[in-house]
Structure 1
Amino acid sequence: MAILQGPLWGRGSARVPGRPASILVLTMTLGSSVRIPAVVILVLVVGGCATKPRELMPTPLIYEQPGGKPLFDRPTERSTAVDLLYITDRGEPTPEEAALKLPYGETRGRRLAFGSAKIDIEPPITWEQLEHQSQLGERTQPINLQLGAVTELGTYPPEPYQIEILSTGEAIRAPEFQKRHDAASRSLRAEIARRLEVSPSKEITLFVHGFNETFATAAFTAAELCHFLGREPVCAFFTWPASHTGNFLISYTNTTESAQYAVDHLKKTIRLIGSQPGVKRVHLLAHSRGAELMLSAAHQLLIETIAAGQEPVERLKLGELVLFSPDVDMEIAAQRITGHISDPDLITVWSKRRLPRGLHGQLTIYTSPEDRALLVARILFRSRHRLGQITADDIRPEGQKFLAETGKVNLITYEGKRTDLFGHSYFTTNPEVSSDVIQLLRYGKRLGEPGRELVQTGPVTWEFPTGSRRQDQMAQTRTKDPFFIGQ
């Protein structure tokens, strides 16, 4: 029996304030002959101010001076604060959350709201100081993120929208609700247009967080990614009612269902952003449990667009889809990604020989077999594979060949030193990994090109040079599934 202490699922390095949790790991018997590891989480995901400042993520290697690329080489607003666009279906904060000055809580809101969230730098420094410190491997003064002014700019009507029955017996949306919906969409589009006007890249990045995140912590991650993308795109985040308090088992179960609840709202958000006039590309980023939410929303949009007889890449303008430490079952992820390929009856407006294109770019999945947070999820769900833990060894050669033929999927494994407590947030806490993300999103570099010289381990699988393939594999039990190897 062993006790592990530390914040779960959020960014859990020692340098980041978090909520401690206690995990009791033991073995239990299910049924008459099956013995599996089980995790009992003792009641704690305890207190601590959710809006405490967070230290800015380490400088990605690509920017480290001397010799690194300049962080800001195109005109941007020279304000130390990061101004994010947020879209949320979180409800009102509880009294405890309000005391922490959180604008939205962990309950489910029956409507979409949107607005501006400012992330301030503490202690206050000049732009020149921020730029200098942001390119140092070892900073000489603290750079902390703090949630600043949050301004709600609009809300959609409460759901479900009311209906009216006409004299003919037909049902329509109540005109007042339709009017309010249209007004909210116009307001959101106007805000996006305002931000696009000053964006050097005319692109939008939309980040979706995972479990055990508040509005503030989700905003911190979105802000530091935006900062190290040179503040060039319109930076937005979709924040959903992920639980962050109470008994862990109950909290995680509730979060799983809240992610399902949020799928339609994220789908509406992506649809509106993707159809925004003036936007060049929309890049979708998701972490942990947010990856399942993102895959579900993207899958539904793909089906919706195909059914409408439209080419998804033209309608939605999706560029890169990037999943960090995805907390989703491997088989479910595969179904979300390839399901339309196996449903020729769905594609009725094209020749059945031609498949619609979903992305201008690619689906990139960052994984780590040492991700401790996903190990807990794997045990709770009795899931053989969590997508965020697999490596090249877990994908059969015929599976790699199939994915390679699509030309749209890459899996990148990190097996180096853990840079946060649970090894779950390496995309921000590890400068080598974050540098690769920057090369992809900001500079459009493909794997194998200068700046992304990773080690190719299969047709669609890669690993960081500092990592090492697992030398002592567990005995593999092959299943009938033609793509994946059992564990």
Structure 2
Amino acid sequence: MKSNTFFKIVCLLGIVPFWLACAQTGPWTMTKGPASSEKVETSKPTPSTAKQKSDSVTALKKKFPGDEAFEEKSTESLSPSKPKLEEPEHPTVSAEIELFEKPQVEEPIFEEPEFEQPAVHAPSGTVEAGATMPIFEDEAKQQKGFVVTNVFYGTTRKYTGVKISPKFYGGDAGETLEYGIATISVPTDPQMRSKGSLTTPLTIFEMQLEEEDPKKHVILTKAGRLSKDVFLQRLNGNLTDHPAMLVFVHGFNNTFEYAVQRAAQLAYDLEFDGTSVVFSWPSNGQAQDYIKDANRIRAAAIDLRLFLKTLHQGTEAKSVYLVAHSMGSVALTNALHDLALEMKERQKPIFKEVILAAPDIDQVEFAKLFAEFKRITERTTLYASSRDQALIISREVNGYRRAGDSSDGILTLPGLDSIDVSRLDTNLIGHSYFGDNKSVISDIYRLIRGSPIYQRGKLVKRSIAGLTFWEFIP
């Protein structure tokens, strides 16, 4: 037993030196870098390797065409003398200050869109086909299946910097009022898009299931920001032959894309003989953000007043029609009230029509605002419904009846044209009838052409508490 133990010890003592020797020469050896303190033994160059080194040095010293231009420069770079500083472009500014570049302010850029002549108004000399689409003299446009038009806009949304048109502006509020133009295509074939409908690609859970087709869908194709001066210059250019503006203020849960699309579709379906303009406030475009939008709409009223004042003082428009939907009525009525107070000395109206569709504003507040601003508009029309589920919910949230809710009787005021549309066949929510119901579209069509309310078809005169209102009878 002792002999076996002695034999194992002897074997181990012989194997360990052999293993250490292999560890320094095998493929798993770790090479020490230059920072290592160990000395690395180098082999002496053989005659063949010395000759290769000599050939390499000769190749490096060989001059190529153009090398002479760099020899003097490289010599100067090795010189110990201090290099001279170049003289700055502006002698009054030191070289050290110029190291800090002046920040460049981004200027609004807008590429002039390529589009056909705007076709939102029926050409003169054509025959109206009742309440149908306008007839165009150019058959090629008919065959094309859509028209392209511009919508001028003012917005207090924050510019995202994303060049894709639908994402041009988001739901965040910007610091200043911005101006610009959006280009929208609208289908012309009634079989592809019925009058009043805002057709868009089928989308489920924000997933678009079909491609955009200008023959079927209302599409925002381009948008661009403009300075205020350029905005007014181009707007006045549009108003030269047709000095009328249709200004649209959207409601709650609307994106910038929806706002300009609806403005273009509404102007086209109304065969509006003028220019379409939209004011887009920073709605977040989400149904669950009602309270958030309600808080923002108050600030939007201040900017809308400025925008309306700019349109009034800076354009050559002779007739201005204002249309507000839902929560947008809060901004419009407050803006008009403040504008009326500012123009206290003015006695003549400055706006042709004010149209409030399903206004989501407290009835008492509206009555007080209307008492002041009615003198700066020739006529104010209010559309209300008892089947508007959105306003019924709004009443529960806010605690007070809304001006567009006629479930307990329609709001009537002296000088206000109140129209109850409860009998009309609307969608499940019954809140967007101003734009997607043919009867309402037809009534607004006659309204903006100056027809008195008692001459517009399907309206029956009613009275409540000694005040008159009108009811739509299908």
The bucket for the TM-score relative to the shorter chain is: 0.5 to 0.7
Specify the code of the residue in structure 2 equivalent to 1:265.
Answer: D
Paired residues of 1:302 and 1:312 also in contact (CA < 8 A): no
1:153 to partner: Cα distance: 1.4
Amino acid across the alignment from 1:388: G
The residue correspondences of 1:325-336 to structure 2 (distance < 5 A) are 325-336=358-369
Distance 2:230 2:443 in 1: 35
Give 1:254-273 correspondences, 5 Å limit: 254-273=292-311
Are 1:438 and 2:445 an aligned pair?
A: yes
Separation in 2 of the partners of 1:190 and 1:303? Answer: 28
Corresponding residue SS for 1:333: helix
SS of 2:252 mapped into structure 1: coil
The residue type paired with residue 351 of structure 2 is L
Instruction: Choose the corresponding residue for 1:72, options 131, 134, 137.
Output: 134
2:409 matched to which residue of 1?
Answer: 393
Counterpart of 1:281 (choices 307, 319, 325) is 319
Q: Counterparts of 1:131 and 1:252 in 2: how far apart (Å)?
A: 34
Instruction: Name the SS of the counterpart of 1:284 in structure 2.
Output: strand
- The change in CA–CA distance for 1:73 and 1:380 in structure 2 (over 3 A counts) is same
Q: Determine whether 1:294 maps to 2:340.
A: no
- Unpaired runs of 5+ in structure 2? 1-126, 200-213
Counterpart in 2 of 1:369? 386
In 2: Cα distance, 1:369 partner to 1:386 partner: 11
The structure, 1 or 2, with the larger RCO (C-alpha pairs under 8 Å, 6+ apart) is 1
How far apart in 2 are the matches of 1:378 and 1:69? 35
Does the 8 Å contact 1:93/1:106 carry over to 2? Answer: no
Alignment of 1:470-481 (within 5 A): none
For residue 273 of structure 2, what is the amino acid of its counterpart? E
Equivalent residue in structure 2 for 1:457, among 456, 462, 465: 462
Distance 1:135 1:121, change over 3 A: closer
**Does structure 1 residue 150 correspond to structure 2 residue 223?**
yes
- Quote how far apart the aligned CAs of 1:198 are: 4.2
Q: Deviations over 1:367-402 (max 9, x none)?
A: 00110011111111111x11111268355xxxx5xx
Letter of the 1:454 partner, please give it: L
Which amino acid is the alignment partner of residue 461 of structure 2?
A: Q
Give secondary structure in 1 for the equivalent of 2:371.
Answer: helix
| RMSD (Å) for aligned C-alpha atoms | 3.2
CA distance in 1 between partners of 2:312 and 2:176 (Å): 20
Q: CA 1:416–1:69 in 2, change beyond 3 Å: closer, same or farther? A: closer
Retained in 2: the 8 A contact 1:328–1:386? yes
Aligned 8 A contact 2:424 2:472 in 1: no
Residue 415 of structure 1 aligns with an amino acid whose one-letter code is S
What is the Cα deviation at residue 421 of structure 1? Answer: 2.7
Shift of 1:294: 0.4
Partner of 2:153: 86
Letter in 2 for 1:230: E
Residue 69 (structure 1) shift: 5.0
1:440/1:446 contact within 8 Å kept: yes
Aligned equivalents of 1:142 and 1:188: distance in 2? 29
Distance across 1 between alignment mates of 2:438 and 2:286: 30
* Matched ranges for 1:203-214 at <5 A: 203-214=244-255
Q: What SS does the corresponding residue of 2:179 show, helix, strand or coil?
A: strand
Alignment of 1:320-359 (within 5 A): 320-339=353-372, 357-359=375-377
Partner of 1:192: 235
Q: How far apart, CA to CA, are the structure 1 residues paired with 2:128 and 2:367?
A: 42
* TM-score normalised according to structure 2 size: 0.62
Task: Quote the residue 2:432 is aligned against.
Answer: 425
Q: Amino acid of the residue matched to residue 369 of structure 2?
A: R
1:110 is matched with which residue: 157, 175, 178? Answer: 175
In 2, are the aligned partners of 1:105 and 1:214 still within 8 Å (CA)?
A: yes
Deviation (angstroms), 1:418 = 4.0
Q: Give the distance between the partners of 1:292 and 1:374, measured in 2 at CA.
A: 13
- Decide whether aligned partners of structure 1 residues 338 and 392 sit closer, same or farther in structure 2, where only a CA change above 3 A counts: farther
1:359 aligned partner, one-letter code: T
- Matched positions, count: 325
Following the alignment from structure 1 to structure 2, what is the Cα–Cα distance between the partners of residues 197 and 205? 15
Matched to 1:107, the amino acid is D
Q: 1:101/1:237 Cα in 2 relative to 1: closer, same or farther (>3 Å)? A: closer
Per-residue deviation, 1:104: 0.5
Please report how far the alpha carbon of residue 264 of structure 1 lies from its aligned counterpart in structure 2 after TM superposition.
1.4
Contact 1:291/1:328 (<8 A) preserved: yes
- Choose 1 or 2 for highest CA Rg: 2
Change (3 A) 1:325 1:302: same
SS at match of 1:226: helix
The SS at the match of 1:412 is: strand
- Matched residue, 1:58: none
Asked whether the equivalents of residues 273 and 282 of structure 1 are also in contact (C-alpha less than 8 Å), the reply is no
Going from structure 1 to structure 2, the CA distance change for 1:392 and 1:274 (only over 3 Å counts) comes to farther
Deviation at 1:228, TM superposition (A): 1.6
Per the alignment, residue 31 of structure 2 pairs with none
Measure, in 1, the Cα distance between the counterparts of 2:392 and 2:196: 31
Pick closer, same or farther for the CA change 1:193–1:142 going to 2, 3 Å. Answer: closer
Task: Give CA-to-partner distance per residue, 1:171-204, whole Å, 9 cap, x none.
Answer: xxxxxxxxxxxxx3x32321221110243xx111
Among 195, 220, 226, the alignment partner of 2:267 is 226
Counterpart of 1:237 in 2: which secondary structure? Answer: strand
- Work out whether 1:318 is the aligned partner of 2:357: no
TM-score by length of 1: 0.61
Q: Distance in 2 between matches of 1:332 and 1:208?
A: 19
Contact map agreement 2:189 2:215 (CA 8 A) in 1: no
**Percent identity between the two aligned chains:** 25
Q: Does the aligned pair in 1 maintain the 2:218–2:261 contact within 8 Å?
A: yes
Assess, with a 3 A threshold, how the Cα gap between structure 1 residues 253 and 296 changes in structure 2: closer, same or farther: same
Question: Hey, what's the Cα distance between the residues in 2 that align with 1:92 and 1:374?
Answer: 31
- What secondary structure does 1:445 align onto? coil
